[in-house]
Amino acid sequence: MHMDIRDLHCVVIGAGVGGLSAAALLARRGMQVTVLEAREYPGGCAGTFPSGGYRFDAGATVGCGFHPGGPLELLGRELGIDWPVTAEPVAWQYRHRGLTLDLERSRESIIERFPRSAPFWQQQARIAGMLWRISEGGLPWPATTAGELYGIVRKGVAGVPGTLSLLTFMARTAHDWLAMHGLDADPDFVRFIDSQLLISSQAVARDANALNAAIALDLPASGTWRVQGGVGRIAELLADSVERDGGAVLYGKEVIRIDTIRREVLGVETRDGDALAADLVVANLTPDSLAGLEGLAPESTVQGPSAEWSAFMLYLGMDSAPFEHAVGGHLQIVSPEGELGEGRSLFVSASPADDHARAPEGLRAVTVSTHTRPGPWFAALKRGGDAYLEMKERYTRKVLEQIREEWPEAAGAVHSVTAATPVTWERWTGRRGGYVGGSAQTSLFGVRAPSTRYDNLFLVGDSVFPGQSLPGVVTGARRTVELTLRRARKIRL
């Protein structure tokens, strides 16, 4: 029998893409939904913000998951959203020590440069295809009941031929997988794979789980899309969907306390003195940020791995000229040696030439990102403002030098520079410690589920399986919605 849930109220903390996806799906099902966002605009790490006459994407976010049957395409179809996206001919261009690769759907340029990798890419495509099909409509992992585990096995074995072959890769690393094809001894190919995995799974080949890697490496083949108006437009359209279905999205509402009794959440309180009762709460927060709210038990509210990475960002106003001969709007620049991150691997994203809402005519709004460990930044801040500013200026010089070295066309094209650090991320997004990108995808076991120690409080976003990226947080949101509705049924009994 269909259950009427219209008299249940769900509060969603945070208007990131994960939180808004969950809110929109719950509102579409008839639940009363209120989204509380501390900032004045939605999107979080995938927002678009104004500065100095430009509109910058907060992170170097790639529009992905819009392919037929992809998580964003399915979400848009269900919510009636016509995403303002255009397919890119090339996902991004990779530059490393004189090597230039255009990452196309066909992988032709990669196989031309690394011909021995062709069997690896054929196998990767088969594995990724199976994983995409298994995850359609959400993936109940980690399973919380025997029924869920049986459902995953049944969906895979019965619905997707060849699924049993995935068992070979469940406990392997991506590096093990490369070794199976004799590719682990090619330093240029390993460097290429490492740089792809770091941006999409927060781990390099020696640490990344092979199945996670199969999906991460599938991004260029699945296709990337430019989002008119910036990636933040996705969150704006999701917020519109929430409101169309009777929900509310309130800005400038920072949640500082969650009121609880035993294993139940009763409601939330905001910094400006408002209090909202709630039957269910979905937190689009990192576990550390959730644990930092008042009112929760002092012990950990969730179990699972912790995030390790943040990002150092440059927001550049640039001439269009360096981009005139580029195919697509993204560029990956990787230095020849040293641990990736900390300025040795950069991801550059530029606003389209014809998107005049994002940059003055003849200019581009450019976002540059490199992985960085948050600890040293907060240590520098603790030593004093001068130490922190010196570190910020040093990283800015290093990143600009790396851009000029691998991308000479950019020399002299930069008109304005604004830098952001893990300290900035903590202040902007409320992510405690400035961590972004979620946990490293090193294992399918021990990953974090949306559940918490409170029966009616659930997590959503890049901290829960399957992790970061637009497809990742949307897929995770479906899992959160499933668990929220399951709890709603118990409340109604």
The residues spanned by each domain of the chain are 9-53+231-305+442-492, 108-219, 308-434
Residue 431: helix, strand or coil by DSSP? coil
Q: In CATH, what number does 9-53+231-305+442-492 get?
A: 3.50.50.60
Tell me what pLDDT residue 1 has: 39
pTM above 0.85, yes or no: yes
Q: What span, in angstroms and rounded, lies between the C-alpha atoms of 435 and 305?
A: 13
Reading the block at residue 414, the tokens are 């930069």
Tell me what pLDDT residue 437 has: 85
Q: What span, in angstroms and rounded, lies between the C-alpha atoms of 473 and 465?
A: 8
Q: What span, in angstroms and rounded, lies between the C-alpha atoms of 124 and 381?
A: 43
> Using only C-alpha atoms, what is the Rg of the chain?
22
Q: What span, in angstroms and rounded, lies between the C-alpha atoms of 101 and 115?
A: 13
Q: Which of 282, 137, 295, 132 is nearest to 222 (CA)?
A: 132
Q: Which residues pair with 95 in a beta bridge?
A: 100, 333
Q: How many CB atoms lie within 10 A of CB 50?
A: 11
Q: Which of 344, 345, 365 is nearest to 355 (CA)?
A: 365
Tell me what pLDDT residue 369 has: 96
Q: How many CB atoms lie within 10 A of CB 361?
A: 8
Q: What span, in angstroms and rounded, lies between the C-alpha atoms of 284 and 332?
A: 29
Using CA atoms, how far residue 89 sits from 65, 223, 225, 251, 334, in Å, is 15, 8, 9, 36, 22
| pLDDT tens sequence across 464-477 | 988 888 999 999 99
Q: What span, in angstroms and rounded, lies between the C-alpha atoms of 18 and 276?
A: 21
**Amino acid present at 449:** A
CB neighbours of 122 closer than 8 A, spacing ≥ 6? Answer: none
Q: What span, in angstroms and rounded, lies between the C-alpha atoms of 41 and 173?
A: 39
- Mean pLDDT of residues grouped by 10 in the chain (493 residues)? 74 98 97 97 94 91 89 96 94 90 92 96 92 75 74 63 78 95 96 94 93 91 92 97 98 97 95 97 95 81 67 96 82 91 94 92 95 96 95 96 89 94 94 88 84 96 90 94 92 70
Are the CB atoms for 292 and 466 separated by under 8 Å? no
Pairing assessment for the beta strands 330-334 and 93-96 based on DSSP bridges: parallel
User: ∠ at Cα 45 (44, 51), nearest 5°?
Assistant: 85
Q: What region, left, alpha or beta, does residue 107 occupy, with left being phi > 0 and alpha being psi -120 to 50 degrees?
A: left
Tell me what pLDDT residue 123 has: 95
Tell me what pLDDT residue 468 has: 84
Tell me what pLDDT residue 305 has: 57
Q: Which of 272, 245, 244 is nearest to 256 (CA)?
A: 272
CB neighbours of 108 closer than 8 A, spacing ≥ 6? Answer: none
Tell me what pLDDT residue 304 has: 55
Reading the block at residue 348, the tokens are 């550059």
CB neighbours of 371 closer than 8 A, spacing ≥ 6? Answer: 198, 202, 309, 310, 311, 340, 341, 342, 345, 437
